[in-house]
Amino acid sequence: MNVLVLNCGSSTVKFQLIETDLEIMARDADRRLAQGILERIGGKSQITMKVDGNVVLRESRPIRDHRQAVDEIVRWVISEESGIDEIHSPSDIHAVGHRVVHGGEKFKASMKITEEVLSGIRDCIDLAPLHNPANLKGIEAVTRLLGAGMPQVAVFDTAFHSSMPAHNYLYAVPYHLYRRHSLRRYGFHGTSHRYISYRYRTLEQRKKEDVKIISLHLGNGCSACAIENGESLDTSMGMTPLEGLIMGTRSGDLDPSLVEFLTEVEGYSVGEVDTILNRNSGLLGVSGLTGDMRDLLFERKDTGDRRAGLAIKMFCTRIRKYIGAYLAQLNGAQAICFAGGIGENSAEIREEVCVGLESLGIHIDVDKNRNLPQDARGTVISKEDSPVKIYVIPTDEELLIARDAVRCIEH
Ligand code: ADP
């Protein structure tokens, strides 16, 4: 089956076209036929399309809305110009899988989209006011363009964490607030943590129930996950993605009293403080330069910028704190797995996170860490005798979305 995977954000639509089915999955031989991104939707958009990892189209022109974006994607994948042999008409697309950010307490697994599922996604808008509406627009666009008969599946970012026990998902606030508003920790990046767990167990040839690892998704957004029996036991993001690790522009954990303090001392509204914590904090806020780790590492090395160095130190220290906390919760782990743009590409950050954790059984092999093979599905970067292995596992959320789409449809 050819599955179109869509990740619709407020002003971007990312897509991948993946060939997979139950037999291909069993052989772990899924194929990525094409991928692309349409940015700055609603204005002059930047369109980038890739086949076999090579950019085959890059142009800039206005794209009105999500519907037009999905239309552009479908037109391009079926066109001669894209050169995708498997796809010549919309009927060669057999299913669409959507990344949906928030599934609340309702969705604990991926779901074939029906009216009832749509209304459940709408019910979660309060919990993800920026993300879920964009995901719904993507679903509506597909229905209009490819017809109501096109099977669509929603894969929720929160679903993997639905296995968290109450003592990890509750906040220690009056219990009736949880009852009344479902005010609790949900966690995000679930599909990425699930992929990392899956890939780890295939590399180690373990059963799902035999996986006990700490997974670190370090991209623009960052989260850690303690995985036991192949399921999420705890994760660092909370009711929203703000909690936990320090990120590109998000503060991560802090004292909530800071909100009232800032409203009184600086005269900000609560909404303005929320914006500061989500968009102007983290690596960007501390360095005053950028939320982009690659640029920050460059600044530290090239100009010796003190605050760039401080931001990186804080970023790594927070990750180390979570590793310690999760090792305690798991009572030891088989491995720590790095993923995401920073986790996969920055040997420097992996080294700064791991060096000095030897007393916890974490021994990084500096040479292996600095010389990763290209295109590997996962690479061990710990010393041979390290009690806790360290892995770099390039994450692949789209693969799991495509596979979930097939499974939901076949069942
Ligand atoms: P998103 O969370 O938006 O999917 P990514 O997973 O692509 O983002 O991660 C983006 C982050 O990865 C940025 O901070 C970027 O600077 C960082 N990054 C990418 N390549 C490198 C690299 N070679 N060294 C350090 N950081 C990198």
- Closest ligand 1 atom, residue 395 Cα: 6
Q: Report the amino acid identity of residue 69.
A: A
Give the tens place of pLDDT for each residue, 186-242: 999 999 999 999 999 999 999 999 999 999 999 999 999 999 999 999 999 999 999
pLDDT at res. 369: 98
Average pLDDT, the chain: 96
pLDDT at res. 86: 87
CA of 248 to the centre of ligand 1 (A): 9
Whether the predicted pLDDT of 97 surpasses 90: yes
CA of 280 to the centre of ligand 1 (A): 18
Distance of CA 320 to the CA centre of its chain: 20
Other C-beta atoms lying within 10 Å of the C-beta of residue 108: 14
Q: Which residues contact 311 (CB under 8 A, 6 or more apart)?
A: 246, 282, 283, 286, 287, 296
- Closest ligand 1 atom, residue 296 Cα: 16
**CA gap 291, 289 in Å, rounded:** 7
Whether the predicted pLDDT of 305 surpasses 90: yes
pLDDT at res. 312: 98
Model confidence at 292, pLDDT cuts 50, 70, 90, reads: very high
Most distant pair of Cα atoms in the chain: their distance: 62
pLDDT at res. 411: 79
DSSP state string for 377-403: S-EE-B-TT-SBEEEE----HHHHHHH
Give the tens place of pLDDT for each residue, 352-389: 999 999 999 999 999 999 999 988 899 999 999 999 99
Read off φ and ψ for residue 281, nearest 5 degrees.
-110, -150
pLDDT at res. 375: 81
DSSP state string for 254-285: --THHHHHHHHHT---HHHHHHHHHHS-HHHH
Please give the average per-residue pLDDT across 234-259, as a whole number: 97
pLDDT at res. 53: 86
Whether the predicted pLDDT of 346 surpasses 90: yes
**CA gap 4, 82 in Å, rounded:** 15
Write down the catalytic residue from 30, 157, 234, 396: 157
pLDDT at res. 130: 85
CA of 291 to the centre of ligand 1 (A): 10
Whether the predicted pLDDT of 60 surpasses 90: yes
Give the tens place of pLDDT for each residue, 134-156: 999 999 999 999 999 999 999 99
Outline which parts of the chain fall under CATH 3.30.420.40.
2-156, 205-397
Model confidence at 10, pLDDT cuts 50, 70, 90, reads: confident
Whether the predicted pLDDT of 100 surpasses 90: yes
Please give the average per-residue pLDDT across 309-315, as a whole number: 98
Q: Look-up: residue for tokens 């130190």? A: 313
> CA torsion sign, 133 to 138 to 141 to 142?
negative
Q: What share of the chain is helix, strand, coil (3-state, %, to 5)?
A: 45, 20, 35
Closest by CA position to 18, among listed 345, 342, 46, 7: 7
**Stated pTM of the model:** 0.96
Give the tens place of pLDDT for each residue, 315-331: 999 999 999 999 999 99
**CA gap 394, 386 in Å, rounded:** 21
Tokens representing residue 54 in the block: 């090579």
pLDDT at res. 392: 98
Question: Is residue 157 among the annotated active site residues?
Answer: yes
**Considering the domain 2-156 in this protein, what is its CATH number?**
3.30.420.40
Model confidence at 34, pLDDT cuts 50, 70, 90, reads: very high
Please give the average per-residue pLDDT across 2-27, as a whole number: 96
Domain 205-397 CATH (choose: 3.40.50.300, 3.30.1330.180, 3.40.1360.10, 3.30.420.40): 3.30.420.40
Closest by CA position to 402, among listed 13, 15, 113: 15
| Axis crossing angle, helix 397-410 with helix 190-204, rounded to the nearest 10 | 90
Closest by CA position to 190, among listed 153, 225, 242: 225
For the chain, count helices (H), then strands (E).
16, 14
Q: Please, are residues 236 and 325 in contact by the beta-carbon 8 Å criterion?
A: no
**CA gap 58, 176 in Å, rounded:** 52
Please give the average per-residue pLDDT across 94-121, as a whole number: 97
Other C-beta atoms lying within 10 Å of the C-beta of residue 167: 8
**Residues lining ligand 1, judged by CB closer than 6 Å?**
219-221, 248, 292-294, 297, 340-342, 345-346
